[in-house]
Structure 1
Amino acid sequence: MRIKNTLRFFVLMLSAGIICQPTLSAQTPLRKLQQDFVNLGFGMFIHYGIPTYMDDDWADPDASPAIFNPKKLDAEQWAIAAKSANMSYGCLTTKHHSGFPIWDTKTTSYSVMSSPLKRDVVKEYVQAFRKHGLKVMLYYSILDTHHKLRPNQITKEHIKMVKDQITELLTNYGEITALVIDGWDAPWSRISYDDIPFEEIYHLIKSLQPNCLVMDLNAAKYPSELLFYTDIKSYEQGAGQHISKENNKLPALSCLPLQRNWFWKESFPTTPVKSADDMVNKNAIPFNQAYCNFILNVAPNRDGLFDENALAALKEIGKLYKKPASFPVLPEYDAPVISTNLAKHRPANSSWSNDYAIMDFANDDDFGTAWNSNPSVKKPWYEVELDGAQPFNTIMVMENRPNIKSYRIEYFVDGAWKSIPVTPVEGRIKVHRFNQVWGEKVRILIDGFGRSPSINEFGVYNERR
């Protein structure tokens, strides 16, 4: 009887709109979701939060919620402005690095609900953008300096908070096209994909909303030929990350602020914004032909509104940008690598190395360094010792340039080396997925090559399938 009453109560709450379930379609293949994302073409980033009311983009983590006090907050103004620029979607910063959520969260008392506003900004944003036919994306920062979720201090409670907050965002606001995550694996955050387990978070997101793309804003550090820890490759131009318009073959996003900073500053109303012509003809249009979606940040002011100069620029952009009638079809590429690299920082061995470029450079999680085989070695090999017998089902080998032509991959178990049947790949990045095996060590035996072999990174993964 108690179960029936509880179920009846839940149905009543749902029908009354007190509980909001996302309206989900059947699960769509990842490749189509990526193509659909690219086909959106152009969107609006909205950096808004407690940093808006301070002089720095990185707000004081102990700033009082009392300063978050917009007098005219109007998310519909944002949506109308996005439409005026012929944008297809928006993406709002739900929580930035200082840890101040701007939604009605149950995970912390440090949020917009303890501010003078006491309104769910995320809810108002998603309602306004959907009303005007725009897709909805959300930004979320893993790094959280208020709650001390930072390097060397991460606890199980922190991981639970991240999962609970993501669950709220993907449960209470309808269908979310993409969750854009920041603060992971960046030199300024130093939170690894192991500290906050990427694969666990990825599968949590997909379990809540199978069609929600997972995008790590810091994925540009990885090679441009493969998706590592993201469904979409991102490029932050202000951080020196620039997509190759000629060579990109992956679904991508490039971002730039219209104003000088991501969050609003007192100088914004009287400071010229970026050129509408540059935003359209040097960014949106050429990116759209390179499998890349362009997102332009516009920062609301302390009243919760866009400044007049920003509104005027968006209208001018809308005169210049027309969404293409068709977009190029994404070429073939490997599925994203989202699992922990079991070979990272493990003991490595190899045939004779060349000079200082010894074996440890091939599993140091740095794609800019490499193990180089000594030119005198005719049959080079490289080997990684795992942390005891481990299950794995994926191997990734990356070279600086395509060079290794033929090779074998083996694993060591029960005192003997056993072969993994693979067909050699000619590209710079060689990914092999196979049925799971258990091994204590993994090695590559290099049989054919042009120059002396060089391996930048050797990855061993046990993917969930």
Structure 2
Amino acid sequence: MKKFLLFAAFLCGVYIFSTQKTFSQTAAAPLPLTQLQQQFVDLGFGMFIHYNIPTYMNDDWADPEASPAIFNPKKLNTDQWAKAAKSANMSYGCLTTKHHSGFAIWDTKTTSYNVMNSPLKRDVVKEYVASFRKAGLKVMLYYSILDTHHKLRPGQIKPAHIKMVKAQLTELLSNYGEISALIIDGWDAPWSRISYDDVPFEEIYSLIKSIQPNCLVMDLNAAKYPTEALFYTDIKSYEQGAGQHISKESNKLPALACLPLQANWFWKTSFTTTPVKSPEKMVNENALPYNQVFCNFILNVAPNRDGMIDDNALQALSEMGKLYKPAASLPKFPAADAPVVSSNLAKRKPANASWSWDMSIMDFANDDDFGSNWTSHPTVKNPWFEVDLAKEEGFNMVVITQEKANTISYTLEYFANNTWHPLTDSSSSARILIHRFKRVWGEKVRIKYNSFSSTASISEFGIYNERK
């Protein structure tokens, strides 16, 4: 482990600089984020491909010390994958370049735990992108932040780990042509417990955009954050098997919903004899209705241990192609605020407020938990809530997530040089209040309610210093 950390610290800084130039020389001109989001929604239907070292084990989460020797497909054929996706009228693919156990299936220089040290000794990512592009399909990649082999896990994260993540993403974005999107996993999830501060989200996000500005960043974080705004992702993601379901009635954001065709994400020996999910349900209850509410549907199809898609999955995909016909045009999602990508300076800082219910005191409004709330006592006519940053900080955005939508008139202020200064006087009936402004410096920030239709209640109060 110590050898890895020393090696990574030396290698990664040099590698990021040397590879970052590779793609930028041929990259397309940057497009507005809203245009990229709509283009993604318009893709409609795609293939998730969970193929990695867990394919060769009985669990989706592989042993982090599993030998590369088990990664030994005899008939690996990414052209077959692309042909199968085309048969279902899919428009893109997304491959698991590295899952939670840290095995990289590309020719990486960051670790020896990779496919080039397996019996295959072939760059699977390179073959995948070539096959899908040849078939006229867009290319996306999946990447896990959680990495149990390299000990990138809660309580053990070191600067060298972050350098490794940056170097690996730089390789993937520099050496394989245009990547339409990165689906990132194992980050800020209850089961990974790696926060956006442990591995700084804004740094990673900025790196991705600096190499490929038109690459969408999609973090699988829908379970924690409200559905009305984009927190730490360009596209709102819904993993349906984990109980995350998009609302077909109220969704207003560009979104992604995913399901596996079989019972698991990675291939299992039972797959050849177990019926796959109904093609009719996958199309008529998922892809088609989701497309009408600004949501792209991605269906996981797991190649087997030979590196091929099984016959029963191929047949199901072909049947889907008869049912799913790409629409000439899809609805345009309403204007949305830019994603929140910075660290919350207010998180768990001292808070104060006017009188509240004893079980809903001020601490609940900045505890990094959208399920808890500060709630004003209903007798208070002009409630207020404030966060003390403990020192003077620069910031240029405030995001207030209310417990529920509330028609309110309010004033935002910041405290500096022993005086409260106005940020804005506003009114809104939205649940989430997002304010961006020219950077100011202050020690405290507060909201004062001038009027409200229901009792003031805040789930999370966020203060951010966005990179510009």
Residue 52 of structure 2 aligns with which residue? Answer: 49
Superposed displacement of residue 400, structure 1: 2.0
Superposed displacement of residue 95, structure 1: 0.1
| 3-state secondary structure, aligned to 1:168 | helix
Q: Which amino acid aligns with 1:374?
A: H
Measure, in 1, the Cα distance between the counterparts of 2:425 and 2:127. 52
| 3-state secondary structure, aligned to 2:174 | coil
Instruction: Choose from 172, 190, 202 the match for 2:193.
Output: 190
Residue 439 of structure 1 aligns with which residue? Answer: 442
1:191-241 CA distance string (max 9 Å, x none): 000100000000000000010000001234211110000000000000000
Superposed displacement of residue 423, structure 1: 2.7
Instruction: Within 5 Å, give how 1:170-209 maps onto structure 2.
Output: 170-209=173-212
Residue 99 of structure 1 aligns with which residue? Answer: 102
Q: Which amino acid aligns with 1:340?
A: S
Residue 169 of structure 2 aligns with which residue? Answer: 166
1:174–1:402 CA distance, 2 compared to 1 (3 A): same
Instruction: Within 5 Å, give how 1:68-79 maps onto structure 2.
Output: 68-79=71-82
Superposed displacement of residue 402, structure 1: 2.1
Residue 263 of structure 2 aligns with which residue? Answer: 260
Measure, in 2, the Cα distance between the counterparts of 1:53 and 1:297. 17
| 3-state secondary structure, aligned to 1:125 | helix
Residue 6 of structure 1 aligns with which residue? Answer: none
The number of residues matched between the two structures is 449
TM-score, normalising length from structure 1? Answer: 0.95
TM-score, normalising length from structure 2? Answer: 0.94
Q: Which amino acid aligns with 2:431?
A: R
Instruction: Choose from 459, 462, 467 the match for 1:464.
Output: 467
Measure, in 2, the Cα distance between the counterparts of 1:304 and 1:334. 42
Q: Are 2:123 and 1:136 aligned?
A: no
Instruction: Within 5 Å, give how 1:39-438 maps onto structure 2.
Output: 39-438=42-441
Q: Are 2:451 and 1:448 aligned?
A: yes
Whether the aligned pair in 2 keeps the contact of 1:170 and 1:208 (CA below 8 Å) is yes
| 3-state secondary structure, aligned to 2:130 | helix
Whether the aligned pair in 2 keeps the contact of 1:219 and 1:229 (CA below 8 Å) is no
1:27-71 CA distance string (max 9 Å, x none): 100000000000000000000000000000000000000000000
Measure, in 1, the Cα distance between the counterparts of 2:265 and 2:215. 24
Whether the aligned pair in 2 keeps the contact of 1:412 and 1:440 (CA below 8 Å) is yes
Whether the aligned pair in 1 keeps the contact of 2:24 and 2:211 (CA below 8 Å) is no
| 3-state secondary structure, aligned to 1:409 | strand
Q: Which amino acid aligns with 1:115?
A: S
Measure, in 2, the Cα distance between the counterparts of 1:365 and 1:306. 42
1:103-143 CA distance string (max 9 Å, x none): 00000001111100010000000000000000000000000
Superposed displacement of residue 178, structure 1: 0.1
Whether the aligned pair in 1 keeps the contact of 2:106 and 2:115 (CA below 8 Å) is yes
| 3-state secondary structure, aligned to 1:393 | strand
Measure, in 2, the Cα distance between the counterparts of 1:367 and 1:20. 39
Whether the aligned pair in 2 keeps the contact of 1:22 and 1:172 (CA below 8 Å) is no
Superposed displacement of residue 22, structure 1: 7.4
Whether the aligned pair in 2 keeps the contact of 1:53 and 1:67 (CA below 8 Å) is yes
Whether the aligned pair in 2 keeps the contact of 1:21 and 1:174 (CA below 8 Å) is no
Measure, in 2, the Cα distance between the counterparts of 1:447 and 1:48. 55
Q: Are 2:28 and 1:25 aligned?
A: yes
Whether the aligned pair in 1 keeps the contact of 2:222 and 2:244 (CA below 8 Å) is no
Residue 9 of structure 1 aligns with which residue? Answer: none
Superposed displacement of residue 172, structure 1: 0.2
| 3-state secondary structure, aligned to 1:412 | strand
Measure, in 1, the Cα distance between the counterparts of 2:384 and 2:451. 11
| 3-state secondary structure, aligned to 1:424 | strand
Percent of residue pairs identical: 71
| 3-state secondary structure, aligned to 1:456 | strand
Measure, in 1, the Cα distance between the counterparts of 2:269 and 2:184. 27
Residue 4 of structure 1 aligns with which residue? Answer: none
Superposed displacement of residue 366, structure 1: 1.0
Superposed displacement of residue 23, structure 1: 3.9
Q: Which amino acid aligns with 1:361?
A: F
Measure, in 1, the Cα distance between the counterparts of 2:250 and 2:385. 30
Measure, in 2, the Cα distance between the counterparts of 1:54 and 1:210. 37
State the superposition RMSD in angstroms.
1.3
Measure, in 2, the Cα distance between the counterparts of 1:34 and 1:335. 11
Whether the aligned pair in 2 keeps the contact of 1:404 and 1:453 (CA below 8 Å) is no
Superposed displacement of residue 158, structure 1: 0.2
| 3-state secondary structure, aligned to 2:426 | coil
Whether the aligned pair in 2 keeps the contact of 1:343 and 1:460 (CA below 8 Å) is yes
| 3-state secondary structure, aligned to 1:248 | coil
Whether the aligned pair in 2 keeps the contact of 1:232 and 1:251 (CA below 8 Å) is yes
Q: Which amino acid aligns with 1:306?
A: I
Superposed displacement of residue 355, structure 1: 2.4
Residue 5 of structure 2 aligns with which residue? Answer: none
Superposed displacement of residue 20, structure 1: 6.9
Measure, in 2, the Cα distance between the counterparts of 1:154 and 1:275. 42
1:146-169 CA distance string (max 9 Å, x none): 000000110000000000000000
Whether the aligned pair in 2 keeps the contact of 1:181 and 1:214 (CA below 8 Å) is yes
